Amino acid sequence: MEVDEESKMEATTEPVIVVPMDVDAQTIQESADVAKTTKRKIQDDEDDFNADDLFKEDNNRSNVKLGGMAGEAIKSLDAGFSTLIKIFYQRVFPVTEFYKWLSYGNVQKNYFPNREISFAFENDVVVRHLSYADAAEFKTDLVKNSPAKIDIGPVYNMRPKDKKTVRNNAFHALERELVFDIDMTDYDDIRICCKGADICHKCWDFMTISIKIIDRAIREDFGFKHRIWVYSGRRGVHCWICDERARKLNAELRTAIVKHIEVIKGGEQMIKKVNLGFGPLHPTLVPAMRILEEYFPKTCLVNQDILGTQESWNKILKMTNDEDMRRELDELWLKHPKLTSKQKWEQLLDEYEKRKGRKIASAFRRDVMFQYLYPRLDDKVSTGVNHLLKSPFCVHPKTGRVCVPIIPEECESFDPLTVPTLQTLVEELNSGGPDGRPSVPPSFAPHLAHFKTFIKGMEDEIRASLRAKRVDEDKKLQF
């Protein structure tokens, strides 16, 4: 398989293999052995990867080239996954709605055919640059190959499957939805309830807060209307912003939007990652502050007990940049181990105000809330046009959970631990009843209904825009 000259691959982790688009199942199985000859750095359960970073150039252009995906996740599939996922694609996955979404009213006839789709298989195999003429062709291939994961890429200037018919520099991405990716592991320095890929109701608050803050910003600060929030199937959320002007944003403008939203800056070694100054908050951050103030007492002081241990309270005390106060409070709290985080927080603010004054103490309080609760974005996912992101309605291979949409206005009630699973959906399909087997599994129906509502809103606006253009054209002809 020929690879892009400009493409690069990092040289650590799980072995995976990228194969040509027209291979059969036997070739895929045989190719899995070849994957063991290389490794690629990609985190377990990574939901996205950069199209520009997928391949590694090889001098032997005829060889199958090695790429990357969440190899460890795919290896953990149980024996029944392959059978169940095929049933899921045959009878549950909303192919029609998927096509309607990514065709955007089919105003541009080549919009869906020029979209890159990627399949990841259970033997560490990734098939890149797939593309389909319509929904029927997509479903045929989907059911036939039954991938463990589907990723969605950008819209190119030609059909991705024909990329080898032109020079590399003649094949390029034109546009893609503006997306945001929030991953729970970015809060591991705060969470005490879970670590890594694990989640629970206590730490899910971080995702709820992120949805509330980012959703308001994209609507009110930038005027975007058509967005869909999606549970990643395990430990995070994705947001797809689908307005036409969002899809056409270049990398520079995407970066500007991310910087507008972003507040937390600095790596793991930086103690204080938020500095909003001592004056009034920027108007766009005032709504976020209200959300943080609402959640901070329960999420941080109770659920995550951020002042519960010497290690955790010293992280906050060091943010004061007052070594004398840090030492005094550290000694005080060691002598009184029964003090709660809420009591320690009140003591800290009182002492800080005595030493620095109300204005500086208030700014410190605000900065801590932002540092501990404000959304932590994966910049590269949002700013790069070439990133691939996991499709809505995929099934996570480790949890079996479906990547269902989240209604942002109801995100507080969303429970990631009770979303439909592959097993339960197939059981519902087979359960039957007085009226026979259901065409849509009952637990899946409300999520599909929300997706249809989202699509209808976009299509209604597209039709209204086309009608307005026709009226304008008619007026011009009359003159």
Instruction: Provide the annotated active-site residues.
Output: 116, 181, 183
Cα separation of 372 and 203, whole Å? Answer: 12
Cα separation of 379 and 326, whole Å? Answer: 34
* Residue in 244, 220, 242, 246 with CA at minimum distance from that of residue 229: 242
Cα separation of 394 and 224, whole Å? Answer: 25
Dihedral of CA atoms 122, 125, 129, 133 in degrees, nearest 10, equals -40
Cα separation of 240 and 200, whole Å? Answer: 24
Cα separation of 99 and 455, whole Å? Answer: 10
* Residue in 392, 399, 400 with CA at minimum distance from that of residue 426: 400
Sequence-distant (6+) residues with CB within 8 A of 274 are 263, 264, 265, 367, 368, 370, 371, 374
DSSP state of 65: P
Cα separation of 285 and 476, whole Å? Answer: 45
* Residue in 442, 441, 454 with CA at minimum distance from that of residue 392: 454
Q: Is the dihedral of CA 318, 320, 323, 325 positive or negative?
A: negative
Instruction: Give 199-223 as a DSSP string.
Output: --TTTTHHHHHHHHHHHHIIIIIT-
Check: CB of residue 191 under 8 Å from CB of residue 203: yes
Cα separation of 196 and 337, whole Å? Answer: 28
- SS3 assignment, position 375: coil
- Look-up of token digits 């592959």: 422
Please list the residues that pair with 17 across neighbouring strands: 125
Kindly calculate the radius of gyration of the chain based on its CA atoms and give it in whole angstroms. Answer: 25
Q: C-alpha 11: how far from its chain's center?
A: 24
Rounded to 5°, the CA angle 115-165-1 comes to 85
Cα separation of 439 and 458, whole Å? Answer: 26
DSSP state of 409: G
Q: How far is CA 167 from CA 63, 117, 172, 174, 217, in A?
A: 19, 21, 10, 16, 40
State the CB neighbour count (10 A cutoff) for residue 26. 8
Q: Which helix (H) or strand (E) holds 470?
A: helix 445-478
